[in-house]
Chain A
Amino acid sequence: MEHRGVVITAGFDKSKIAIAIAKQLHRRNVPVNGFIVVSPYSWSRLSRYIKKRGISFFWKAIPRLLGFSSISKESKDYIKEFREEKKIAYKSIKNWASDHGAAYHSVSSINDRNVVQYLKEATPQWFIYSGGGIIRDNVINVMHGRILNAHQGPLPEVRGMNAAEWSILLGEEQEVTIHLIDQGIDTGDIITTKPFSIDADDTVNSIRAKAKVKGIEGLVEVASKNNLEDYELRPNNSNHRQCYILSSAMKALLHKKLQIIQRT
């Protein structure tokens, strides 16, 4: 059966992750049909983020939205290394899409009616989630379970936000889980996992970056195939409480734990 290509989501145009996924799939001759880029500048999205994460989140996000690295100079930037190693120079999804004949849809919500219509017409093999908000039923239904996500922690143990950080705090394995998206938060069937280690010079930011790179690799590996026959899907039934963004005090506690881990 022929691969029907992929559609990739992103939370902003300068998403290095979405560009890297597209580039790597393209190299494997997997058609990249298009991108759904959720505009970060819609009022409803902004107000939702500020309510959830506070106004400080908004200010901190500005450099990232403009395409600058969010990794501090003291931290190793694994995404930058990955891009250099794979010779990925593009900084804008729009430019990549234009140069490679892929569709580019800028929308105010990932669940927009136009997104559903586009997916119906494009019928991609996979819809790859790489940011843009929570996917709702209308999009999930039209894809009939073919939505892939790279979660930065082990499932079902650590579901929700800041999964790489919570994995450390909760003493769980460091791994990225490639799974299907269903109606719950990180509750879809597990396809495969990509473990990684914490090194002596890692910081919380570098660990997150490392997890993102593992996520790119995992998504590219799975999305290159036109079915999941090679994987033994595991159900992801979770009674675990959903994780949320870390508070300032818990971030401080996380740093302490990381130091303790790195001493061993």
Chain B
Amino acid sequence: MHDKYKQHLERTIRWLIRSKQKNEGSSAHFNPITGWGKPYPETTGYIIPTLLDFSHRENYRPAKETANDFGEWLLSIQSDEGYWNGGLYPPQEKSPSVFNTGQILFGIIRMYKETGDDRWKKSAVKGARWLADHVDESGLWEIGHYTDFNPTYYTRVAWPMLLVANVTEKGFVKDKAVQVLDSLIERQNSNGTFRGWGFEKSQPAFTHTIAYTIRGFLEASFLLDDWSRYGAKVESALEKVYKLAELNNGRLAGAYDQEWGPTEYYSCLTGNVQLAICLMRWHEYNGDLQLLNAASKLIEYVNGTQFRNTPVKGLNGAVAGSKPLWGRYMMARYPNWAAKFHADALMLFLELSGKKQEEWSTAELS
């Protein structure tokens, strides 16, 4: 079975490499009729760590080279103020984006860690500084939103700010990130859900943004080495996700309302694997193997949707937005972020199951 996971992983990584546009970033998505879409700076940024992880894991040079190309392209399109524009590339107008800037920082800071080259560090500090400068006293951003509010999944902006702060010892950036997280954790309902964790303020949230929100809190807790601050607080949401994953054999609804009621008939595949990652990160905290079981069901559901050996290259290894393909989330498209999180989930599961085997073998020897 683990060999099957490796095969899926390889297919997904090859697709991500194929998503590279000439001299630019990763195409946002593939559509079977219109082909590859425009490059997407936001997701190109966070695809970089995925490619580098794979290149280390399998010693696969093309993954590393593609990550480097993506990084160089992102450096070339960073604004003088430090932010990156929102949306696809090229942008239609100047549009500083909090979320895109945060997501791109994942790639930039990782490039710095890989190479030690100061160009990456300077870029990361500039981006993180721009983010920190625009956090107001209430812990929210004044500008740079996708819609007209600060969504709760901005936890996923605070997380890369903490990553930058850890590497560069920028106390100001760290303080601002914590301020944002402290503000967003206040939005939690008693049943574990969060107000405003979807793309729209009062609408049900796709599992994609639910996972963004939870992951941001989890990773912040790990980086701050303080589980009680955020991690413990999202456990109720994770427990619900665990049960939903188990009771539905790995198939989550595409979106949930504030009462955990499923609101969509289709499944949002990227949300499935993103939540698998959240469960696995929780497992890393508490060691409960049952969480790995639920996570692997979520992964296996997505594995079952992946194409291979089709004549259309853009489909081989692609992960759709929705299952069925005509579901509302990224209808009829195969987004690069679905592939990114699929690869991340597979790599994390393989790593954790490998660790478990080592642990058992060591215990046996002792």
- Alpha-carbon distance A166/B356, docked complex (angstroms): 14
- Alpha-carbon distance A51/B292, docked complex (angstroms): 20
Q: Is A257 part of the contact surface with B, judged by Cβ < 8 Å?
A: yes
Contact A249 B356 (CB under 8 A): no
Chain B residues with CB below 8 A from A246, complex form = 293
Contact A249 B2 (CB under 8 A): yes
Q: Is A89 part of the contact surface with B, judged by Cβ < 8 Å?
A: no
A residues 243-264 near B (Cβ < 8 Å) are 243-253, 256-257, 260-261, 263-264
Chain A residues with CB below 8 A from B299, complex form = 249
- Alpha-carbon distance A54/B300, docked complex (angstroms): 11
Known: A244-B294, A248-B300, A260-B357. 12 other contacts (CB 8 A): A52-B249, A53-B249, A241-B242, A243-B290, A244-B246, A247-B296, A249-B2, A249-B5, A249-B300, A256-B360, A260-B361, A261-B364
B residues 253-310 near A (Cβ < 8 Å) are 288-290, 292-294, 296-297, 299-300
Return the CB mask of A27-54 against B: 1 if under 8 Å, else 0.
Answer: 0000000000000000000000001111
CB-based A-B contact count at 8 angstroms: 62
Select A260's contact among B1, B296, B349, B364, beta carbons within 8 Å: B364
Chain B residue nearest to A53 in the complex (CB): B249
A residues 160-203 near B (Cβ < 8 Å) are 166, 169-170
Q: For chain A, what secondary structure do more than half of its interface residues adopt (helix, strand, loop), or is it mixed?
A: helix
Contact A256 B357 (CB under 8 A): yes
For this complex, 18 residue pairs linking A to B, each with C-beta atoms less than 8 Å apart, are A51-B248, A53-B249, A54-B249, A170-B289, A244-B246, A244-B294, A245-B249, A246-B293, A247-B293, A249-B2, A253-B353, A253-B357, A256-B360, A257-B360, A260-B357, A260-B361, A261-B364, A263-B364
Chain B residues with CB below 8 A from A53, complex form = 249
- Alpha-carbon distance A53/B250, docked complex (angstroms): 9
- Alpha-carbon distance A183/B290, docked complex (angstroms): 23
Q: Is B247 part of the contact surface with A, judged by Cβ < 8 Å?
A: yes
Shortest beta-carbon distance from B306 to chain A in Å: 15
- Which A residues have a C-beta under 8 Å from some C-beta of B? 51-54, 166, 169-170, 241, 243-253, 256-257, 260-261, 263-264
Q: For chain B, what secondary structure do more than half of its interface residues adopt (helix, strand, loop), or is it mixed?
A: helix
- Alpha-carbon distance A170/B246, docked complex (angstroms): 18
Chain B interface size band reads: 20 to 34
- The list of the 9 closest CB pairs from A to B, nearest first, reads A252-B1, A244-B246, A249-B296, A247-B296, A247-B297, A250-B293, A248-B1, A260-B360, A249-B1
Shortest beta-carbon distance from A24 to chain B in Å: 34
Contact B1 A251 (CB under 8 A): yes
Chain B residues with CB below 8 A from A170, complex form = 289
Chain A residues with CB below 8 A from B1, complex form = 248-249, 251-252
Chain B residue nearest to A170 in the complex (CB): B289
Chain A residues with CB below 8 A from B5, complex form = 249
Chain A residues with CB below 8 A from B360, complex form = 256-257, 260
Shortest beta-carbon distance from A71 to chain B in Å: 21
Return the CB mask of B94-120 against A: 1 if under 8 Å, else 0.
Answer: 000000000000000000000000000
- Alpha-carbon distance A257/B353, docked complex (angstroms): 11
Q: In the complex where A250-B296, A252-B1 touch, is A241 in contact with B250 (Cβ < 8 A)?
A: no
Chain A residues with CB below 8 A from B297, complex form = 247
